[in-house]
Structure 1
Amino acid sequence: MKIEFDNLLEKLKTKNIRLSHQRLKVLEYLTLNQCHPTVDQIYNSLHNEVPTLSKTTVYNTLNSLTDVGLVRVITIEDNETRYDIRTDNHGHFKCVSCKDIFDFDIDIDKFSTYELKDFHVKDKNVYFKGLCPKCVQFETLNK
Structure 2
Amino acid sequence: METNTLELKEYLRNHYIKPSTIRIKILKYLMENKTHPTVDEIYEALTDDIPTLSKTSVYNTLDIFLKKGVVAIVTIDEKESRYDIDTSIHGHFKCENCGKIYDFKVFVTDLEEEGIEDFEINKKSIYYSGICNKCKTQGNGSSVL
Regarding TM over 0.5, the answer is yes
Structure 1 residue 117, shift from structure 2 partner: 1.0
Task: Name the counterpart of 2:127.
Answer: 127
Asked whether 1:74 is paired with 2:71, we answer no
Measure, in 1, the Cα distance between the counterparts of 2:94 and 2:64. Answer: 26
Higher relative strand content: 1
Structure 1 residue 8, shift from structure 2 partner: 5.2
5 Å-filtered alignment, 1:89-128, equals 89-128=89-128
Runs of 4+ off more than 2 Å: 1-11
SS at match of 2:115: helix
- Where structure 1 has 5 or more consecutive residues not aligned to the other structure, the ranges are none
Higher relative helix content: 1
Query: What is the one-letter code of the residue matched to 2:45?
Result: S
Task: Give the TM-score of the pair, scaled to structure 2.
Answer: 0.89
Measure, in 2, the Cα distance between the counterparts of 1:5 and 1:118. Answer: 45
Asked whether 1:45 is paired with 2:45, we answer yes
Measure, in 1, the Cα distance between the counterparts of 2:123 and 2:4. Answer: 24
Tell me if the contact between 1:5 and 1:31 (Cα under 8 Å) persists in the aligned partners. no
Cα RMSD between the aligned structures? Answer: 2.2
- Where structure 2 has 5 or more consecutive residues not aligned to the other structure, the ranges are none
Post-superposition CA distance 1:40-76 (Å, at most 9, x none): 0000111111101110110011011110111000100
Structure 1 residue 14, shift from structure 2 partner: 2.2
